Amino acid sequence: MKTVKAKSLHTSVIHAGQAPDPLYGGVSVPIYQSSTFAFESAEQGAARFAGKEKGYIYTRIGNPTIAALEESLAVLEGGRGCLATATGMAAVSTVYTALLGRDTHVIGTDSIYGPSRTVVEKEFSRFGVASDFVDTSDLGNIERCLRPDTKLLFIETPANPTLAITDIAACARLAHERNILLAVDNTFSSPVLQNPLAMGADVVIHSLTKFINGHSDVVGGAIITEDGDLFERLRKVLILMGGTMDPHQAWLVLRGVRTLALRVEKSQDSAGPLARWLAAHPKVRWVNYPGLEDHPQHTLARKQMKGFGSMICFGLHGGYEAGRKMINAVRLCTLAVSLGGIESLIQHPASMTHAGIAKEKREMAGITDDLIRLSVGCEGLEDLQDDLAQALEHVEPTGV
Ligand SMILES: Cc1ncc(COP(=O)(O)O)c(C=O)c1O
């Protein structure tokens, strides 16, 4: 595969891993929709299994189309190796499985994507894994939870859905002083806006389902690292557990990647003005967007991100009921979970994505019942603003 050393990410998203097909010159990477690969002889098969000869064996172990996507994502995140996975949760679970076990402890961001927390608290706990999920935007909270058996610090920044920002470089220092590995879920930023490996993270995770694919038509995940030994450990677990990607899925994501930078920039260009417009609206009680000066970690976001992204959270004066009235009234935005697609999506985490977490724990993590999450897409800003304005007309001036 072609590794492009480009100065601009706009170049890398198009060319990294996406060289013309050497067989016929197809400009789009071919879909190698084959579960298995023929050997020329028994000796060749044996050599491939023994790792003495390069070449494909079986798609759960490796596939050229999936390898092209892995090459692309490794370049975009500045890592040496990438593993594409069936879903974002397969990436998260592979990292947990590889790095945790009996009598180990993980510290995570409390407002992390709901299932990334639930899978530890409900499933990995059955195998002796202990955990603490805290507000990692305050490093003191992490320090207070450290234990001799802590092996992993798993942060999501900006977090889902509170948009709390955690200091990646400070977490890397804190973790590495104690031989703890730092994993960062970079889904909300995409490699366009944030590169955690460059700030000292050991592992980066993505749900490709979101910005990287960007068309709300594929699920997928990825794990990227710079460390060769860690990569081999993760690869072994992924192949054994079977959470690998399918070639057609990889091809669709490769197509999405080519417009990643354009999409992220376009949606972000609308998100800033929309956040400010919402903040000034009389029916809106609060707005949370890292680009607003009153965001608690605005200065940190400015330092560690290349842009503030296109996720906005807000609450109305009328709380839960007013919020539900509003999201039921949108016409252009789609009422759906997920994020990072070309179309704007709006949802209510307390009754949807984070409903599996007890109300008390949700509220401790800042996921209040009135929180509405908006993933700004690539539509025109004026049309989005008109849609939110008409939806807010359905809410009484007093709130509800
Ligand atoms: C931040 C984040 N990480 C991980 C995931 C899990 O990804 P998937 O749904 O592709 O399994 C999601 C899904 O919403 C997410 O938002």
Q: What are the pLDDT digits (tens) for 171-185?
A: 999 999 999 999 999
Mutate to test the pocket of ligand 1, among 85, 113, 136 (most ligand atoms within 8 A of CB): 113
Q: What is the pLDDT averaged over residues 142-169?
A: 96
Whether residue 5 has pLDDT greater than 80: no
CA dihedral for 291, 292, 296, 298, sign (positive or negative) = positive
Contact call for residues 94 and 238 (beta carbons, < 8 A): yes
Distance CA 210, CA 195 (A): 17
Distance CA 182, CA 158 (A): 15
Q: What is the pLDDT averaged over residues 256-285?
A: 98
pLDDT tens digits, 372-382: 999 999 999 99
For the chain, percent of residues with pLDDT exceeding 70: 98
Mutate to test the pocket of ligand 1, among 187, 203, 208, 217 (most ligand atoms within 8 A of CB): 187
Q: Supply the residue whose CA is at minimum distance from atom 8 of ligand 1.
A: 88
Ligand 1 atom with the shortest distance to the CA of 91? 11
Q: What is the DSSP letter of 203?
A: E
Whether residue 353 has pLDDT greater than 50: yes
Whether residue 248 has pLDDT greater than 60: yes
Distance CA 50, CA 237 (A): 18
Q: What is the pLDDT averaged over residues 192-221?
A: 98
Residue 230 vs residues 56, 99, 276: alpha-carbon distances, Å? 22, 9, 43
Whether residue 1 has pLDDT greater than 70: no
As a whole number, the mean pLDDT across the chain is 95
Categorize the per-residue pLDDT at 400 as very low, low, confident or very high, splitting at 50, 70 and 90: low
Omega before 161 cis (within 30°)?
yes
pLDDT tens digits, 11-37: 999 999 999 999 999 999 999 999 999
The C-alpha angle 165, 170, 176, rounded to 5 degrees, equals: 130
Q: What is the pLDDT averaged over residues 148-159?
A: 97
Distance CA 102, CA 180 (A): 16
Q: Which of 185, 202, 246, 370 is catalytic?
A: 185
Q: What is the pLDDT averaged over residues 39-57?
A: 96
Break the chain down into helix, strand, coil percent, rounded to 5. 40, 15, 45
Distance CA 213, CA 13 (A): 12
Categorize the per-residue pLDDT at 225 as very low, low, confident or very high, splitting at 50, 70 and 90: very high
Would residue 113 show up in a list of annotated catalytic residues for this protein? yes
Contact call for residues 364 and 110 (beta carbons, < 8 A): yes
Residue 163 vs residues 147, 347, 353, 371: alpha-carbon distances, Å? 27, 15, 15, 12
Q: Is the pTM of this model over 0.85?
A: yes
Q: What is the pLDDT averaged over residues 215-219?
A: 97
